[in-house]
Copies of this chain bind each other. A is one copy, B any other.
Amino acid sequence: MSTVTLGIDHTVRQQLIEAGSATIANLLYRRGLHHTMPHGLRPLADDQEPLVGPAYTLRFIPSREDLDHMGTYGREDNLHRRAIEECPVGSVLLIDAGGCTRASSMGDLMATRLRARSVAGVVTDGGYRDTAGIKATGLPCFQAQPAPPATPIGLHPVALQEPVGCGGVAVYPGDVVLGDADGVVVIPAHLVDEVAREGSRAAAYEEFAELKIRSGHPIFGVFPATEESTREYEQWVAAGRPGRE
C-alpha cells in the first residue's frame, strides 16, 4: 500500500493537523472507539512540529542478561537498529516498550538517522535518552518520561510490524498516528480519510464558535453545534469568515 511506504496524502495530513488530536479522538469516539489516545504520553519538545504518518511498529520485551548486552546490541541483525534503517519514509516509528522507563527506547544518533531518512517521528510508551540531542534534530517525538539508561539494561527488540499495544491503545501497522500538544491519537487506517475531512470541518466550526464566545455568547447554542448555529456558521463561511485572525 502506497500509504505505508510514502507516508500520507498531503491534504489528509493538513486536515488532521487542523483538526488536532483531541478532535480526532472525539470523532473516533462517536464511531464507538473509546481508547485511541495512548495514556500519559507527552511531546518531547514544547514547540515541535505536529507528527503525522502511518505507524511502523517495533515491539520490545524485557531484556535477559545473556541475550542482551552491548555485544548483541552492535550486531547488524539487531531489530532495534534495523527498525531505524527500515522504517519507511514518512512513517511514524511506534514503539511498544511495555511502559518500561528503566531503559531507553531511542537516543540522539538514532533520531539523527531517522531525520536524515525523512521518517516522520517517533512514539514510545517508554522514554528516550539524550533528549537535548533529540530535540536538536527537530524530529517530533512523544514519550512517557525520560529513560536514559542503555537499552539492553531493560529492553529486547523482538519484532517489527506486528500489532502492538502502546499506552493502553491497540496499534495495527498502517494505522495513522497524529501527535500534537495534546498527545497522540491512533486512527484505524480505514477511517483516516473520513475523520480527517470531518475533523477539518469541526476545526473550522470551532474557530467560528470561539469568535462567538469571545464576543460574549454563552456556550449553550454554540457548543456543541445546533442546527441554528450550523446555519449561522455556513453563512459566516460564505461571507469569507469575517473576524478571523
Is A237 interfacial (CB 8 A cutoff)?
A: no
Most buried by B among A63, A146, A158: A146
Docked-complex contact B22 and A130, CB < 8 angstroms: yes
Docked-complex contact B98 and A146, CB < 8 angstroms: no
Name the contact of A219 in the complex, choosing from B22, B109, B213 (C-beta under 8 A).
B109
Docked-complex contact A34 and B223, CB < 8 angstroms: no
A24 to B20, CA, bound (A): 39
Is A104 interfacial (CB 8 A cutoff)?
A: yes
Is A232 interfacial (CB 8 A cutoff)?
A: no
A213 to B134, CA, bound (A): 13
Residue of B nearest to A96 (CB): B61
**A148-B22, A213-B116, A224-B73 are known contacts. Are A162 and B170 too (CB-CB below 8 A)?**
no
A162 to B158, CA, bound (A): 9
Residues of chain B lying within 8 A (CB to CB) of residue A110: 219, 223
Q: How large is the interface on A (under 10, 10 to 19, 20 to 34, 35 or more residues)?
A: 35 or more
Name the contact of A213 in the complex, choosing from B61, B113, B152, B181 (C-beta under 8 A).
B113
Docked-complex contact B33 and A66, CB < 8 angstroms: yes
Is A182 interfacial (CB 8 A cutoff)?
A: yes
**A34-B65, A116-B213, A159-B162 are known contacts. Are A29 and B132 too (CB-CB below 8 A)?**
no
Nearest 5 Cβ contacts at the A-B interface: A22-B148, A148-B182, A22-B129, A61-B165, A132-B181
Q: Which residues of A contact B (CB under 8 A)?
A: 20-22, 25-26, 29-37, 39-40, 42, 60-67, 70, 73-74, 76, 81, 84-85, 98-102, 104, 107-110, 112-113, 116, 129-132, 145-146, 148-150, 152-153, 156, 158-159, 162-165, 168-171, 180-183, 188, 206, 209-210, 213-216, 218-220, 222-224, 226
